[in-house]
Amino acid sequence: MSRVGEHAPEQAQEILAKLKQIPIFQEIAENEDHLQRLLQICRLKKVRRGEMIIKEGEVGDEMFIVYSGAVEIKKETRAGDSYTVVILKAEYNVFFGELALVDDDKRSATVVATENSEFLVITKEDFVRLGDQFPQIGLPVTRAIAKILAGRLRKTTVDMLTIFDALVAEIHS
């Protein structure tokens, strides 16, 4: 992996433009100084088609922004069967692994490149250091991650109630 700052100025401008499009950076997207500081902690990682980027159950400390290419997010059932949750493509301005920036838990899914891809990678250590030095950058990003988590929690609650209602209906019929 190479630091983004080690690349040509044109590529740095392209990466800045990409960072502006990523939802968790929305609150800082108009501040060029904040984006430059964020750019400094990004690394560029190239991955070949079929390569595993994250393995479910392993501990990780990196967030990935899909800069080019695409990935498949996969989960395993308790029976050990694998299923695709979603396919993420660079043009969707997507990211994954963001929870690793705020906790030290195991990865919740496996991520595999479905084509040759490039990722902007931010490590937890770099993100925490940036947030400590520049809370005006770290706080809005952390807030955005919290909103994502709140949305997922709400969806999980609705899903659980739907399953519970289906079980109750099955028992009564």
Residue 166 has a pLDDT of 85
Rounded Cα distance between 168 and 111, Å, is 35
What top-level class would CATH report for the domain 2-172?
mainly beta
Query: What are the pLDDT digits (tens) for 62-120?
Result: 999 999 999 999 999 888 899 999 999 999 999 999 999 999 899 999 999 999 999 99
Q: Are 50 and 112 in contact (CB under 8 A)?
A: yes
- Residue boundaries of the structural domains of the chain: 2-172
28-32, 100-104, 165-169: range with highest mean pLDDT: 28-32
Q: 68 - beta bridge partners? A: 118
111 or 158, which is more confident: 111
Rounded Cα distance between 101 and 103, Å, is 6
Q: What is the mean pLDDT of the chain?
A: 92
